[in-house]
Every structure is written in structure tokens, then in C-alpha cells.
Amino acid sequence: MCDFHLQLKPGKFEHQRQLKVSKSPWGPDDEIGRLNLITTESKEKVLSSIDQTKTFDLTVNYFMGMPSWSAAGDPPYQIWMTHTPTGNVNDNLLNVSKESKELISYSGDAISMYTHCGTHIDTFNHFGYRGEIWNEFNEKEHLGSRHWNKCGPEKFPVIIARAVMLDIPDAKGVERLPESYGIGKADLQDAMDKQGVSIEEGDIVMIRTGQMTVWPDRDKYLTNSPGLNVEGAEFLAGLGAMIIGADNIALEQNPSPEPDNYFPVHTYLFSEVGIPIIELLWLEELAKEKIYEVGFVGRAMPLVGATGAPLQPIAFPLKR
């Protein structure tokens, strides 16, 4: 009988993919994986080292028609008015006087979207193996009528950490990586060497593929995206990366090179090593100024039980 579970050891980051769900080294109740590496001491270290006079917003704008993952039927970003000044006068839904309706110009709106639209963070219940997710939580016991009851973004702490951007196309002397290019260990190490940076335990790694140079062209941005491959994911996990993000639609190369696993990097990072993913990062300004190490501050929208949530990361250059 096959054993589809693994027990990770505290402080040991190297882990080759085995297609098995891991037990968390932080205990049977853990729902946040390597975000446990965020401590009071680690936050103090980052906040004391940043230059607060300059900030970089790593978020894309939300707008109608924006590129988003909708190939499997998930809803794109939509926004519509629920109240308009003229409509309030004509409909009088608030049941107020004519003078009040004409005095006050009231507007309201609502939005609808897939939780993986725009710059966002994925949670461990997004992908798993054989009906199980990180730390052996499973669909039979932990999936409700509306959402998972484990590993939602509401469990994530405020993310304060050192982040390292690896500009892969710049290291190769191109503007944008070729279609479906798989970023492996050698590509990552080459960028680190040329940029003079290293990955330390608890770091956020932000990978620039150059895909944002074609944003917001839907076809060019979404189709055959270059991205991280499993070898690259194993390498970064082994260095102690806490979160891995990228400027593309799904972090990993698309389409998958594996016929039986359409998201091999997602399943490995979530289910086996407890590393969350950030997608659609806006890294163009950092790349233009060649700023590779920053203090990163962000908070996932606390959508209880969701498989992902909007995130607005703010980056601060480190003091020189």
C-alpha cells in the first residue's frame, strides 16, 4: 500500500518533489506553512533596515477587460454602479425628499471577480494531491458547502519580510523571456550572481519574467507564459524561501511540461513544502531602477476559507 504522506523536519528546507502531501513541521494545526518564519525579531530586522522615504507599489490596477485566469470558466473582473446621482432622483430608493435627492449626488458600486484576479496570494487549499492539501487536511473533513474550513487567507499574518527580485530576462540580456520558457536552477543562480544577491531563510523571492512588458494585452500576457519550473522551485525552497512570486499569471511556465500534472509547481510548493505563491506582481519600476533587495509589507484580504485573496504589496528599498 502506498503512503501518500511526508513528515517535514523543522529547519530542513531541501525537499525533492515526491507527489505526496506533507505534514507540517509546525504541528498538526498549522495552516500557514513557511509564514511561520515571520517572527517579532524578523519583522523588527526588516523594518529597521528600510528607507521609508521611497515606496514601490507592486500591485496592478483592477479594470474591466484586465487579463485574468478565466479559461476554466472563472469570472473576470466586473464592476457596475449600484447607485447613480440621476438614478437616485428618478428611483428614490432611499425614500428621501425631492430636495434631498437633488442636493446630494450619491454614487455606489459593486464588484465581482475570481479570487485570483489581479495581484493576489494563493493559499494552500488552492491545490493539493488526491483530495488532500497541506498538513493532511482533506476535503472529506475540512471542505464546507461554500469554502474550505482550513488554510484560508484570513489565517495569514501581515507579511513583513525581506524580498529579493530576480530579474531573469535582464540577466540574459533580453526584454522578455521566450514563450513557455522554464526557469530552472541555473537561471536563478545566474541572476543571483549577476545581481550580487543571495536568498536567505525567510525571504520572499520575486521573479521577473518580463511578462508585464506586454500588459494588458490579454493574448500576449496569458498565452504560453514563461515561468518557474519544478527544478527552480525545488532550488528556491531548498534555500529557505518563505514565499515565491512572479510578474506572470501563474508563477510557473505554461503550458505544463508534464502531461499528468497541469500545475506541478503549485502542487509542489503548496502541498509538499508549505510555500505560498504571489502572482501578477508589478516589478517594472524595481527593474528599471535595478533595485533587487527590498523590505516587503503586505496583507492578504481576509476572505474566510478562500483559495486566494487580493494582496497589495508595498516595497521599501533597503538603507544603503
Query: 111-120, pLDDT tens digit by residue?
Result: 999 999 999 9
pLDDT (mean) for 75-81:
98
Contacts of 163 (CB under 8 A, 6+ apart): 203, 204, 205, 206, 293, 294, 295, 296, 315
Answer whether the bond into residue 67 is a cis peptide, omega within 30°. Answer: no
Helix (H, G, I), strand (E, B), or coil: what is residue 167?
Answer: strand
d(CA 164, CA 205): 5
| Tens-digit pLDDT profile for residues 258-291 | 999 999 999 999 999 999 999 999 999 999 999 9
pLDDT (mean) for 40-65:
98
pLDDT (mean) for 72-91:
97
The x, y and z cell numbers of residue 298, run together, are 503586505
What is the structure's pLDDT at 12? 78
What is the structure's pLDDT at 63? 99
Residue 320 binned pLDDT confidence (cut-offs 50, 70, 90): confident
Asked if 251 contacts 279 with a C-beta cutoff of 8 angstroms, the reply is yes
pLDDT (mean) for 159-168:
99
Alpha-carbon torsion angle 115, 120, 122, 125, nearest 10: -20
Mean pLDDT over the full length of the chain: 97
Residue 71 binned pLDDT confidence (cut-offs 50, 70, 90): confident
∠ CA(7), CA(35), CA(55), 5° rounding? 155
Element housing 297 (H / E): strand 293-298
Asked if 171 contacts 194 with a C-beta cutoff of 8 angstroms, the reply is yes
What is the structure's pLDDT at 7? 72
- Counting Cα atoms < 13 Å in the Cβ hemisphere of 83 gives 12
| Tens-digit pLDDT profile for residues 185-237 | 999 999 999 999 999 999 999 999 999 999 999 999 999 999 999 999 999 99
How do the residues of the chain divide into helix, strand and coil, expressed in percent and rounded to 5?
30, 20, 50
Domain boundaries, the chain: 15-61+116-317, 78-112
Farthest-apart Cα atoms in the chain, separation: 77
What is the structure's pLDDT at 6? 67
pLDDT (mean) for 29-45:
98
What is the structure's pLDDT at 8? 74
Please determine, for residue 10, whether its predicted confidence score (pLDDT) is greater than 70. Answer: no
Q: Is 55 exposed, middle or buried (0-12, 13-18, 19+ CB in 10 A)?
A: middle
Asked if 69 contacts 248 with a C-beta cutoff of 8 angstroms, the reply is no
d(CA 248, CA 221): 8
Which amino acid, one-letter code, is at 304?
V
Helix (H, G, I), strand (E, B), or coil: what is residue 318?
Answer: strand
Helix (H, G, I), strand (E, B), or coil: what is residue 304?
Answer: coil
What is the structure's pLDDT at 3? 58
Asked if 110 contacts 79 with a C-beta cutoff of 8 angstroms, the reply is yes
Asked if 109 contacts 82 with a C-beta cutoff of 8 angstroms, the reply is yes
Topology, domain 15-61+116-317:
Glucose Oxidase; domain 1 (3.50.30)
Please determine, for residue 1, whether its predicted confidence score (pLDDT) is greater than 50. Answer: no
The x, y and z cell numbers of residue 199, run together, are 536568498
∠ CA(183), CA(33), CA(8), 5° rounding? 85
The x, y and z cell numbers of residue 155, run together, are 489565517
pTM of the model: 0.95
d(CA 125, CA 19): 16
- Residue with the larger pLDDT of the pair 20 and 7: 20
Asked if 36 contacts 161 with a C-beta cutoff of 8 angstroms, the reply is no
